[in-house]
Amino acid sequence: MSTTAKWRTWLPYAGVVAVVGYCLAPFYWMLVSSLRRTSDIFDTSLLPSPVSFENFGAVFDPSQGFTRALLNSLIVAGITTSLALLLATFTAYAMARLEFRFKRLILTLVIATSMFPVVSIVVPLLQLFTDIGWINTYQAMIVPSMSFALPLAVWNLTTFFRQMPDELEHAAMIDGCTRGQAFRKIIVPLAAPGIFTTAIITFIAAWNEFLIALTMTNKPEMQTAPVAISKFSGATQFETPFGSQMAAGVLVTVPLVVMVLFFQRRIVAGLTAGAAK
């Protein structure tokens, strides 16, 4: 095999390795930094020496309130994902199956709303929620998050429903099902992989949301994990606890990575099999 042919064979693999390395490098450095001692936090070695878990112990110090922040993030992200999926499933099915005027325009507007910068809605929502007494409540974080999670879920599920043949509903209706029964008994089970994938994407987006949670809460007991990490305090007023922040970042990120890796085979297998199976 000539040198040129060898390069062509290995070049795609080299490109994949480079992209993966570029994407994982920040997470690797966060993990390594979280395992360093406070005195070694600015060390530039690739591996921590010695390995220390003092930063993880500092994260769960009661004064930081990180455990409650994790619970708040779970509540906000879980409710946001559940509501978004419930509404998006019906909306996406209607957009994929029904024919009505301005359908393309409506779908364009739906996805366009998710592209608005968060800062553009924070100020008016802050005034509104202050007037109705929603500051420092879960709904003050869930409702704005829905404005971005719902369009994303509708767009993903509409694309998925369009890939499913119309003959599925027609066959079910010939057998005596109504359209609603065909949707509930045939379409929803077959769409489970797409719904599950959308749930993961929506949950991750809601879990990582920062600006809304920072603006709508000023009580430590209502802050979510990203906000709590940004407000970690050091031993002195002017000290920034980089190690604790890195450790908290690992604790926030690892569950998401494990969840995606754990369900990866099921998601991929379901999507590749599709409704034609």
CA distance linking residue 184 with residue 177, whole number of Å: 10
Per the domain annotation, does 154 fall within a domain?
yes
Query: What mean pLDDT value characterizes the chain?
Result: 84
Per the domain annotation, does 221 fall within a domain?
yes
pLDDT at 271: 53
pLDDT at 129: 93
Q: Is the pLDDT of residue 182 over 50?
A: yes
**Structural domain boundaries enclosing 189:** 65-231
CA distance linking residue 117 with residue 92, whole number of Å: 24
Q: Is the pLDDT of residue 73 over 90?
A: yes
Per the domain annotation, does 83 fall within a domain?
yes
- Number of neighbouring beta carbons within 10 Å of residue 19: 10
Higher per-residue confidence, 112 vs 88: 88
242-273 and 192-207 helices cross at what angle (nearest 10)? 170
pLDDT band of residue 43 (cuts 50, 70, 90) is confident
Tell the burial category of 74 from Cβ atoms under 10 Å away from its Cβ (0-12, 13-18, 19+). middle
CA distance linking residue 19 with residue 13, whole number of Å: 10
CATH number, residue 164: 1.10.3720.10
pLDDT at 70: 92
Over residues 211-222, the mean pLDDT reads 91
Over residues 169-186, the mean pLDDT reads 84
Per the domain annotation, does 161 fall within a domain?
yes
Over residues 158-178, the mean pLDDT reads 84
**pLDDT tens, residue by residue, 239-255:** 678 888 899 989 888 87
Closest CA to 191 of 156, 142, 216, 227: 156
**pLDDT tens, residue by residue, 54-64:** 888 888 888 77
- Sign of the alpha-carbon dihedral angle for 51, 52, 53, 59: negative
Per the domain annotation, does 40 fall within a domain?
no
